[in-house]
Structure 1
């Protein structure tokens, strides 16, 4: 399979697919507890429950041992909750360990340009977020779509893959430094956040592109697996993720098969066109309305779940005559947040994506995303990726639109706000 763009050679035996939210949490805690030198965490936010407090304490133990840590969250989401916010808990930690802890709060230029959103944190999230999920402890890297909140550690289906590779860890560590460069920073426990910074669109794009070009290791051939890193920030014209996946889809054959899932199906036209044009057969999976995290939420969030039902209809219409199967995921007392693509030839899963992107309009155009594509000849890794995909599809069923009625106000509003989902 021809994949365009940078690649980092790795050994398939150094890739471990995590199976459950509990395994993800326990592995994360173990990695931090064993780390000696560096810790990098980027996420939308960190929660405030008992499981999260244990995570914070493990980070503090790492800092006490003299390690260097960087934590980056979204500005609006990180400050929400006042005394129970990510900001408040990290500030407590920063006051004790400010010499070896860097705290960054990414404030999207799209939010900066909105006078109203600047004043209302929840509105900021509708415009754009820092959405990457990078969990690095020394050379152990977990890439995921999961945030650091208790539901993602218990009963919220997501994906999590661990890599033990220094070069790959370095790539995402430097990427985190680039994000930090364009974030509000804590410079002093007494002064709070430095909010004098302004993001330079061209600088961000140049920094990311230069970083990607520095990690092109395709000439190294003594490995059975390649990791193709990708970054997506449509607002800065950084579109590595969409170009990478479009390249893969264009090179699939009639003998190939693609599985594609997202908790929030609302793919933009270029991705729909790539799916409809691919020669491979296609299996789609999204959240049953009951497995959507916004199901039965209060107004106006009550409209989000039925809106995604309409977006799925739009997607299927845009895919046109493409032959495919579309199912929905549901598991009692669970919600669905998994996203990714798996690529098969014959019965072997030879490639899979992993990362933060939901493959939606906002993922491509508004949010900051990171991840990549694993392409492998390692049979054990191929089997592990196939097993991961099978576990997710084990809870699939035929789509049933009668479970939830779409209110008339959603039918009127949703099409106008499609780009924000």
Structure 2
């Protein structure tokens, strides 16, 4: 089987000089090709990504993928220190991740999974009220109706003068007003907090550098959010971290299914995500009240950084350097931290990864492709019995996997089950305006991939399920991996990415790759997946022959045109 591959891509360059200042080149563009490729990127918005010299096609399936050889002496030392710990299953299968991401060692008992939106909301409030020193919230937005959540923050700040709160949201989404006069923007909701506690609460709004000039003037609110967003969802409370894909709005607290993972008493991991928020905030707008009498007025200010709208080129360059330095700093931190740890005490490894294509950061995509490569290669090791194939479950609330992800799945000698939202479980179902056609667009994309599965005779290995629960919508995303026919997963990926073109090309995303040998944690992750599959139906050819699944021609054309915005 020979799947066509992408013709334009960016290749990692590894410096031969043993100099710590060159470490950021691991996440940069090949200098020789940078001008040509970046010009194409800026003018055509083409899809670019880090890839290895070999691609996962039928003629090279047995070749190792994404070969990353550490050139820096610190990385070499790091490998010798950690190798003893990861040369046993399940870690040994995924040790290439050590060359891509920082890592954190934990015990499975420190990690707790939540199952329902209501649990997520109650845990948020509980963690806010228990925090004594710091709260870092990163989310797309906070719904204007979430007065109780904001008041919980107010109570927490009042009861602890040492408590510092930093909230990072997307600028476009968080300054957009609702469809009614009473539905104001999240900025208005948070403004009283900033005014009341100027020394304790900071609110930052990230703005994409891709929305500038005439495009900024012509695209109306809501539509302009398709250009790019700050999509990270992470919540730090002192030394506790809650990771999710959920936004902070009523639906996500009641009947919109997502994923939620709580890491308790994990100072290094929480420091990483707190630093991530502060680093992005360093080149984001700050919410400030005006001196006008009307309390509803606010302003957005930048401090010593280029403006993403009026100085987008300089903003990209500056912010990319800042983020590369962030990655380098944490990679080195992990090396130094490992020297002082007794590795035998830990049974779980966390690899945090970020994706910021507008700033040339593609760590999450590279890591995900590496995981998919590992899953694929296991079936090539003289395994004839398909019952012994690894099993992988891959889900997104918006079925629009990138071409590279789909190629990995189609070429893999593994069992895949893909879980997507049914049209009724799509958050845009029965919405007003042109957005009501969005569920049909995803049906079209889903049908295309199902046709690919059938074309390559993979129906027995690759299944598509749809989430359909009366009165509920579906927003979960992630990957679960079961090794060697085992009953419980050893790996899961959780975070904000939907694994589509938007996540890889336009938005800011953050994920955590968790690998564990802890039995109770593996069972909990398995139970989480099972709870979602309770409400699914399998997709077949007959699914797309139903009258209500027919996609009008104009929608099919529009979907092809705006595929990277979905």
TM bucket (normalised to shorter chain) is over 0.9
How much does 1:134 deviate? Answer: 1.1
Q: Judging changes above 3 Å, is the alpha-carbon distance between structure 1 residues 258 and 30 closer, same or farther for their aligned structure 2 residues? A: same
How many Å separate the matches in 2 of 1:120 and 1:300? 13
**Matching residue of 1:410:** 555
Moved more, 394-403 or 155-164: 394-403
For the 8 Å contact 2:194–2:288, the answer to whether it is kept is no
- Change beyond 3 A, Cα 1:359–1:117: farther
TM-score by length of 2: 0.71
Superposition deviation, residue 201 in structure 1: 1.6
Deviation per residue, 1:91-118 (Å, 9 max, x gap)? 1111101111111111100123553457
Match of 1:166 among 251, 267, 284: 267
Give the TM-score taking structure 1 as reference length.
0.95
Between the two structures, name the one with larger relative contact order (CA 8 Å, sep ≥ 6).
1
Matches of 2:407 and 2:328 in 1, distance apart?
27
* Counterpart for residue 313 of structure 1: 447
Q: After the TM superposition, which of the residue ranges 131-140 and 394-403 deviates more from structure 2? A: 394-403
Correspondence for 1:281 among 411, 415, 434 = 415
Equivalence for 1:193: 300
- Give the aligned partner of residue 117 of structure 2: 21
Q: Is 1:223 the counterpart of 2:223 in the alignment? A: no
Asked whether the equivalents of residues 117 and 123 of structure 1 are also in contact (C-alpha less than 8 Å), the reply is: no
In structure 2, the residue matched to 1:265 is 399
3-state DSSP class of the match of 1:36?
A: coil
Question: Counterpart in 2 of 1:208?
Answer: 323
- Report how far residue 256 of structure 1 moved: 1.2
Deviations 1:267-287 (A, max 9, x none): 111111222233321011101
Q: Specify the SS of the correspondent of 1:348.
A: coil
Greater percentage in strand:
1
Match of 2:363 among 237, 240, 247: 240
Q: Please give the alpha-carbon distance, in whole angstroms, between the structure 1 residues aligned to 2:107 and 2:290.
A: 42
Contact in 2 for aligned 1:283/1:325 (Cα 8 Å)? yes
Tell whether the 8 Å contact from 2:352 to 2:511 is kept in structure 1 after alignment: yes
Matched with 1:342 is 480
Higher mean C-alpha deviation, range 213-222 or range 160-169: 213-222
The equivalent residue for 1:9 is 105
Structure 1 distance, partners of 2:190, 2:316, is 28
Match of 1:176? 277
Q: How many residue pairs were aligned?
A: 419
Q: CA deviation at 1:248?
A: 1.0
Contact 1:111 1:117 in 2 (8 A): no
Identify unmatched segments of 5+ residues in structure 2: 1-92, 292-297, 309-314, 380-388
How far apart, CA to CA, are the structure 2 residues paired with 1:245 and 1:29?
Answer: 32
Within-5 A mapping of 1:100-119: 100-116=200-216
Who is 2:530 aligned against?
390
Deviation at 1:331, TM superposition (A): 0.2
Q: Point out the structure with max Rg over C-alpha.
A: 2
CA distance 1:418–1:115, change in 2 (3 Å) = closer
Q: For 2:552 and 2:125, how far apart are their aligned partners in 1?
A: 43
State how 1:324-403 maps to structure 2 within 5 Å: 324-345=462-483, 346-399=486-539, 400-401=543-544, 402=546, 403=548
Greater mean deviation of Cα atoms: 113-122 or 384-393: 113-122
Residues 1:173 and 1:416: Cα distance change in structure 2 (over 3 Å): same
CA contact (8 A) 1:227 1:375 kept: yes
- Is the contact between residue 261 and residue 285 of structure 1 (CA under 8 Å) also seen in structure 2? yes
Q: Distance in 2 between matches of 1:142 and 1:270?
A: 30
Question: Equivalent residue of 1:362, what SS?
Answer: helix
Q: Which moved more, 1:147-156 or 1:120-129?
A: 120-129
Task: Check if 1:61 corresponds to 2:176.
Answer: no
CA gap 1:318/1:228 in 2 versus in 1, 3 angstroms: farther
Q: CA RMSD in A?
A: 1.8
Q: Which segments of structure 1 move beyond 4 Å, counting only runs of 4 or more?
A: 317-320
| Structure 1 residues 189-227: Cα deviation after superposition (integer angstroms, max 9, x where no partner) | 536211684242233233223323333437452311111
Q: For residues 117 and 357 of structure 1, what CA distance do their matches in structure 2 show?
A: 28
